[in-house]
Amino acid sequence: MRTVVSIGGSVLVPDVDPERVESYADVIESLDADGHTLGTVVGGGPTAREYITTARDLGANEIELDQLGIAVTRLNARLLVAALDERAAPTPPEDYETGGEAIRRGDVPVMGGVVAGQTTDTVGTAFAEYVDADLVVFATNVPGVYDADPDSDPDATKYDEITASELATLVAQTGVDAGSNAPVDLLAAKLVERSGIRALVLDGTDPAAVERAIRTGEHDGTTVVPADANGPPAEWNDE
């Protein structure tokens, strides 16, 4: 099975510390050893936010801030490359073609950001589309997709399952404001809808939960089901 895992920066590198990165590398190595084909994308997390806030105060424009964010995602990606040792492509691919080539070689690509004006959710989904993945997993710092903002609405309910078009509508309604708690950004949601790829949105703070989701389809987050789904991947029935 071919899976792209988009790991939020706040999940992989909440602090610049080896522990979480090491546990993610162990999960990736174990899946890889069992024949899973993997692509990974890493976000910028608190370090990116710190740089962006500081550069904004210094007068940088929004595109310059995005470039700074991309640079940090690639720095974070290099931490995962370091932990994966020779299994990873040595440099974070800067475009989908280079990432796809790494997969064809049998390496695990670890991408960061690609172009200004988006987030790594979009990179993960576009890369999944480019390499014709069976699954895209968003390992985030929230438990899944909610019908309202769980931070401000005590009645917010998590979806176990949602269709891709429902997700796109939901994110369009709630997720465009700065600082919104949408678990994926709007362009990523639209690409999930377009691609027809099954997506999982789940809490990535426990890498073992991400491994279980990829191996078996079992998780406590939200499954985003494509419109013309043929049912879950056959591999999940064998587990």
Please provide residue 176's backbone torsions phi and psi, each rounded to the nearest 5 degrees.
Answer: -90, -15
Q: Using the CB atoms, write b or e for 7-26: b if 16+ within 10 Å.
A: bbbbbbbbeeeeebbebbbe
| Smallest gap from residue 113 Cβ to ligand UTP (A) | 3
Which residue's CB is nearer to ligand UTP, number 100 or number 232?
100
Residue 135 and residue 214: Cα distance in Å, rounded?
Answer: 8
Q: What is the pattern of x (binds ligand UTP, CB under 6 A) and - over residues 80-109?
A: ------------------------------
Query: Binding string, 43-62, against ligand UTP, x = CB under 6 A?
Result: xxx--x--------------
Degrees to nearest 5, angle at CA 56 with 53 and 58: 115
**In the window 112-131, what residues touch ligand UTP (CB under 6 A)?**
113-120, 123
The reply on whether position 221 binds ligand UTP by CB under 6 A is no
The helix or strand, by DSSP H or E, that contains position 186, with its residue range, turns out to be helix 186-195
Nearest distance in Å: CB 65, ligand UTP: 6
Quick check: 111 and 40 in contact, CB under 8 A? yes
Residues in contact with ligand UTP by CB under 6 A are 8-10, 43-45, 48, 65-66, 69-70, 73, 113-120, 123
